[in-house]
Structures are given as C-alpha cells and as structure tokens.
Amino acid sequence: MVKDTRFWTSGQWFESAWGYCFQKVDEMIVLNLKTYPETIEKSLYFADVASEVVEETGVRIIICPPSPYLREAAERFSDVFAQHVDPYPPGAHTGSIPAEMLKALSVKGSLVNHSEKRIGMENVKKALDMLHSSALESIACAETPEEAAEIAQLSPLYVAIEPPELIGSGKSVSKTKPQIITSTVKKIKDSSSNVGILCGAGVSSKDDVRKALELGTDGVLLASAFVRAEDPKKFLQDFASVF
C-alpha cells in the first residue's frame, strides 16, 4: 500500500513530498440519497447517472449512498461520499464508521452532522480531524448561520446550511428564507474565507439552484427531489445547466 503523503492543518491540504499546499473549493451539486425505498433499489443506478452527467457537463457532482453501497458506488464513480462518519478510530466501536474505513473503501469524503444525524460540536471537530488526517474531504452541516460560522472555524472543506424545518418540504431555503443564506455567507466569509458554502433544505428546482448561487453559495445539497424524480438524469442535467 502506498502511504498518502498529504496531511491537513490550519485549513489547508499540505503535500509533504513536494512542499506545497492547497484548498480548492468547487461549485457543485451534492446528492444525499438517504435511505428512501428508491435508494435501496437504485443506489448504483444513481451513481451511474451522476457519472454520466459529470462527463457531459463538467460540473462536480458528489453522491452520498448508504454505507452498504459505498464500495460498489466508488468502483463506478469517482466522487462518492459517505452520509456519516463517526468520531472514533478503528477499534471496539460496534456499528461505527471510522474515517479509515471510508478510506479503505476508496470513498472520497463524508457528510458530517447532518440534521438527521447530529453529533454535537465536540464530535464534529473529532470527525473532521479524522477525515482530514485520512486525506478525505468533508461537508459539515449546520442548522443556523451561527452554527455554520462556528463549524467553519473547524476548517471543513464545505459547510452546508440546512434549516431542519425545510428539509424534504419542497420549499427551498434560498427562496423561502434567503436571509438565512445571506447571513451564513457573511458570517463564514468574515471568519473563514477558505470554506465553501452549500445551500440545502428543500432544493427542488433549477431556479432554487440559481437563487442559491446568486446569494453567494458554492452549490447545493439535496435529497428527495433527485431520488424521487421521474427522470433523475434529466433532473440532474437541468440542475447542472445552471453552473
């Protein structure tokens, strides 16, 4: 096994072999497949759809299948993230998902602290540190602008702002409560300009995506609108056309 020579510190990736550092924030679409019935049936199909749309458009798309599908999804698509990572090292932690396990599965990163899997600020820090020490990317979720700014200080690659009352509602935060987005953008940019910002909760149309980008975010995080779309590929192509 070739040892990964990168390490993470002070909000940057460092490449120890060559001595340079970088943190690149892309505009992107993040698809959280959750555990819907459609997800159980079609997770790998959704990974193939994402791969095809990336090849056609060049837009970065991340897909987050449930953990049983991670290895197979990562074998057919390069931007696979876990839906959750635990703040523990490998060991006697029954049912846990350590960052080292994700690395072994060729997963590229993980969501952290989703509103349906909140872990508390202390564990957010631990989970981020473990992801970054394994050279994995991170998307940390927050419910309020204040929490988003606090998490940004921990140097995830992205913070996703998702008011929980709008998740799965079909009512996008970018249209329903745009002040939450603008407040989040200001607080994070004031405190940590290197952290990307994603808009989640209720994102269901390309107009929602366009509005989120206009408000200063770097992309969107969504779930049910994609998973339950009549034609997932066309749906994703429409979203990608906004970038």
The catalytic residue positions are: 114, 162
Tally of CB atoms within 10 A around 90: 11
CB distance 129 to 109 below 8 Å: no
CB distance 7 to 198 below 8 Å: no
Give the start-end residues of each E strand in 133-195: 137-142, 158-161
Say how far apart CA 105 and CA 49 lie, in whole Å.
21
CA geometry: angle 82, 83, 87, nearest 5 deg = 80
CB distance 112 to 126 below 8 Å: no
Q: Residues 117, 161, 87, 46: is their CA dihedral positive or negative?
A: positive
Question: Is 158 in a helix, a strand, or coil?
Answer: strand
Q: How far is CA 236 from CA 54, 61, 65, 76, 161, in A?
A: 10, 9, 16, 18, 21
Residue written as token pair 């004031």: 190
What's the burial of 91, exposed, middle or buried (CB within 10 Å: 0-12/13-18/19+)? exposed
